[in-house]
Amino acid sequence: MIQTQKKVAIIGSGLVGSLLAIYLKKYGHDITVFDRRPDIRNVEFSGRSINLAMSNRGWNALHEVGIEEEIKKIAIPLDKRAMHVVGQPEYYQKYGKEGEAIWSISRGVLNRKMIDLAEEAGVVFKFEEKVWDVDLPEGKLFTGETEKGAWQEYQYDLIFGCDGAFSRVRHKMQRRSRFDYSQDFIDVGYKELTIAANEDGTHKLDRHSFHIWPRGKFMLIAMPNLDGSFTCTLFMPFEGEVSFENIKTNDDAKDFFKTYFPNVMQDLDNLLLDFFKNPTSAMVTMKCFPWTYWDKVALVGDSAHAIVPFYGQGMNAGFEDIFVLDALIKEHQDDWHTIFEAYEKVRKPNADAIAELSYRNFVEMSSKTADPKFLLQKKIEKYFASQHPDKWIPVYSRVTFSDRPYAEALAEGDAQEAIMKEVMSLPNIEEKWNSAEVENLILSLL
Ligand SMILES: Cc1cc2nc3c(=O)[nH]c(=O)nc-3n(C[C@H](O)[C@H](O)[C@H](O)COP(=O)(O)OP(=O)(O)OC[C@H]3O[C@@H](n4cnc5c(N)ncnc54)[C@H](O)[C@@H]3O)c2cc1C
């Protein structure tokens, strides 16, 4: 054993908290996970399940503790986007090279499985126990029914705040001097909708595709579930001409789907039901620093870096935090002060980079997809990449199918953007976009 056994508390039994518990249990620590919610394994999903895309970074972290294959059994590989563009037949865009795919997985099913695996390994879970306060220097936690009621006190050697974007642990750290914090909501919200399975249990749309209906300022996406259904997410401005605010009645919603999403009409009844039943949720980018307090407390996952979901990387980034933390534990053994210092130093620039990339993807999807100049630029990039796959790796591939740092992907993306700016300023670029002149210019600028 490379570590002295410690008493460890993890706040939050979400995806990040439960994976961190599995990792730390391997070192023989005594681990308790607190969650304010009931045990997700006993909660009915009420017919809908939010799903997530798992990619390389997530799989790497699961592989390291030997649970990748087990989790793959509950995931569906998606090797392409299926584009449902107005006025065009459905078409497909391969994500990457042969064999590269993102994986659709139900957040609830995954979370249940990870809690099972952590419990089997000997982790103790305390559900319906909300943490109200943390004494950072003393490593004390205070839980209870209400903020004003009686609290139970616990003492730990190490505390990990895996309590999500609105973290209580971070809240406590925020009150310290020189703690940086920012949060930015976007003016677009989202709503989960379902496309049910066919009667024979098969999928109504291609099951190995990530389906996208881009509509300028709003869009619908759909990812398959194992039971034949699809979970759709409608992203749309809260206010404005086409907005959540302006869809008030069943007829408004019916008109909306008929006008913009004619090929999901077969499921209209279901969609309408979900539309009025399910909440409209907000999306936030949250940044903070530092992420740790001495050798006692660390934030991991969304509590340290919540991002908008347009790159499908929030969970992947949280899992990568754990992977990096684990490598540092192996390197520095019992020296938690150094482990925590190195952890936040390595991860912070990468968390900022994926936050920026995710936000840019949001801007791109909502305001650029109808811009002919932008579409031409993308066409040139794609063409050049197909001619020189070793010289032009798209940012999407660097983020999704690689384990190189996010900050590197952002920097490479910026460098590519600068090249494309020159290319796009060539006279008559529309006519010569696939010419040798353009190809040579890019090669000379690389
Ligand atoms: C619409 C949408 C789509 C997304 N799609 C993707 C995707 O495709 N791929 C991807 O990688 N990521 C995606 N994400 C991001 C992903 O969902 C999050 O990054 C991930 O769930 C974060 O996990 P977490 O464990 O850090 O936090 P959470 O999942 O928020 O878990 C926090 C846990 O802490 C508990 N808790 C909170 N406060 C307390 C307290 N005071 N006391 C005790 N317990 C507490 C909560 O009950 C909860 O169980 C998406 C997010 C959204 C919103």
Of the candidates 8, 62, 53, 2, the one whose C-alpha atom is nearest the C-alpha of residue 30 is 8
Kindly give the pairing relationship between strand 180-185 and strand 218-224: unpaired
Q: Which residue's CA is minimally distant from atom 2 of ligand 1?
A: 309
Q: Each residue of 366-376: b (16+ CB within 10 Å) or e?
A: beebeeeeeee
The secondary structure of residue 279, as a DSSP letter, is P
Pick the CATH number of 7-76+104-183+284-361 from 3.90.1150.10, 3.50.50.60, 1.10.540.10, 3.30.479.30: 3.50.50.60
Question: Ligand 1 center to residue 129 CA distance, Å?
Answer: 17
Between CA 430 and CA 118 the distance in angstroms is 56
- pLDDT for residue 263: 75
pTM of the model as a whole? 0.96
Q: What is the pLDDT of residue 46?
A: 55
When the candidates are 3.40.50.300, 3.90.480.20, 3.30.9.30, 1.10.1740.10, the CATH number that belongs to 185-282 is 3.30.9.30
Residue 85 three-state SS? coil
Ranges of CATH 3.50.50.60 domains, the chain: 7-76+104-183+284-361
| 42 Rama class: left (phi>0) / alpha (psi -120 to 50) / beta | alpha
- Residue 222, CB half-sphere, CA atoms under 13 Å: how many? 26
Question: Reading across the β-sheet that carries 75-78, which strands appear in turn?
Answer: 51-54, 102-106, 75-78
**250 Cα to the center of ligand 1, angstroms:** 31
What are the residue ranges of CATH 3.30.9.30 in the chain?
Answer: 185-282
The atom number, within ligand 1, closest to the CA of 233 reads 1
What does the chain come to in residues? 446
Widest CA span of the chain, in angstroms? 75
What is the structure's pLDDT at 1?
A: 54
- Ligand 1: residues whose CB is within 6 Å? 11-17, 34-37, 52-53, 130-131, 162-164, 168, 190, 233, 301-302, 309, 312-316, 318
**Closest residue (by CA) to atom 31 of ligand 1?**
14
Tens-digit pLDDT profile for the chain (446 aa)? 578 999 999 999 999 999 999 999 999 999 999 999 999 999 876 545 689 999 999 999 999 999 999 999 999 999 999 989 888 889 998 887 788 999 999 999 999 999 999 999 999 999 999 999 999 999 999 999 999 999 999 999 999 999 999 999 999 999 998 999 999 999 999 999 989 899 999 999 999 999 999 898 899 999 999 999 999 999 999 999 999 999 999 999 999 998 998 877 777 778 888 899 999 999 999 999 999 999 999 999 999 999 999 999 999 999 999 999 999 999 999 999 999 999 999 999 999 999 999 999 988 877 776 688 988 999 999 999 999 999 999 999 999 999 999 999 999 999 999 999 999 999 999 999 999 999 999 999 99
**Residue 229: what are its φ and ψ, rounded to 5°?**
-85, 170
> Whose alpha carbon is nearest atom 41 of ligand 1?
131
Q: Sign of the CA dihedral 358, 361, 363, 366? A: negative
